[in-house]
Amino acid sequence: MSELARPPASVGTLIREWRSRRRLSQLALASRTGVSTRHLSFLETGRSQPTRDMLRRLSEHLDIPLRDRNALFLAAGFAPAYPEHRLADVPMSAVTDAIAQILRGHLPYPAVVIDRHWTLIDANDAVFTFLDGVAPHLLEPPVNVLRLSLHPDGMAPRIRNLGQWRTHLLDRLWHQVTITGDDRLAQLHRELQTYPAPSGEAAAPTNALVVPLELATADGDTLSFLSTTTVFGTPLDVTVAELAIEAFYPANGVTRLSIATRINSVPSSVG
């Protein structure tokens, strides 16, 4: 049966699926939420219907993403609990202003904003450091930053530690698939696995603290970056909850000096 033809899951089925995804027994979840195992069993089988408050408690203890919490409420016959605004909507102005400040403040180093599917939402000008030699078709919206990184027509030929970086990204993506059950992320993971991978890639040094992104430049340098991920704390909007800012920092003095030299060599447009 196709996705379009498949009937919507019942609220009990959704609760059971999320409980299984979190690898919790009925007893464990019932204990956490302060209900009896019998009552939780009745909710999952449809013999009882959850109240709105019960759905909130279950969602919190199961750490369900806001988008999927809304689906849970809808399946139970309630209105969605969390709004979903576009970034251009007026209520999102504080969020977009904060993102703009972070992107500007991170210059001269690259930073990008992505959604839950790794789609590029925004970036600062320093991201062009990553884009030398990337095929135009990978830069046509919507741009997926994982595809951009690992595709043979993307950044992959310039990534000196491609095996390490590829493993890092695939592991991170699979973790997202595991905790969200998102079919699009699972499909993206399958796609990325088909891309060519170097053979015999050395493992990261045992004294390494993180996996860096090591990127070759046209002039023969190797830039090395560490990455961090920033999300909004305690989001109450679906869109805000799904945004992340990936910021890259120089991993060594050579990279820091190279970036500074590149910036200083660009003529100022002021005046």
What percent of the chain stands above pLDDT 70?
Answer: 91
Q: What is the pLDDT of residue 271?
A: 31
pLDDT tens per residue, range 204-214: 554 567 899 99
Three-state SS sequence of the chain: CCCCCCCCCCHHHHHHHHHHHCCCCHHHHHHHHCCCHHHHHHHHHCCCCCCHHHHHHHHHHCCCCHHHHHHHHHHCCCCCCCCCCCCCCHHHHHHHHHHHHHHHHCCCCCEEEECCCCEEEEECHHHHHHCCCCCHHHHCCCCEHHHHHHCCCCCHHHECCHHHHHHHHHHHHHHHHHHHCCHHHHHHHHHHHCCCCCCCCCCCCCCCCCCCEEEECCCCCEEEEEEEEECCCCCCCHHHHCCEEEEEEECCHHHHHHHHHHHHCCCCCCC
Give the chain's mean pLDDT: 91
Q: What is the pLDDT of residue 36?
A: 96
Q: What is the pLDDT of residue 1?
A: 42
Looking at the predicted structure, is the pLDDT value of residue 270 above 50? Answer: no
pLDDT tens per residue, range 30-88: 999 999 999 999 999 999 999 999 999 999 999 999 999 999 999 999 999 999 999 99
Looking at the predicted structure, is the pLDDT value of residue 166 above 70? Answer: yes
Looking at the predicted structure, is the pLDDT value of residue 227 above 70? Answer: yes
Q: Average pLDDT for residues 245-271, to the nearest whole number?
A: 76
> Does residue 41 contact residue 25 with C-beta atoms inside 8 Å?
no
> Per-residue confidence at 221, pLDDT binned at 50, 70, 90?
confident
Q: What is the pLDDT of residue 105?
A: 97
Q: Which residue has the higher pLDDT, 269 or 139?
A: 139
pLDDT tens per residue, range 188-204: 999 999 999 887 655 55
User: What's this model's pTM, rounded to 2 decimal places?
Assistant: 0.88
Q: What is the pLDDT of residue 219?
A: 82
Q: Which residue has the higher pLDDT, 221 or 57?
A: 57
Instruction: Specify which residues 39 forms β-bridges with.
Output: none
Rounded to whole angstroms, the Cα distance separating 224 from 209 reads: 14
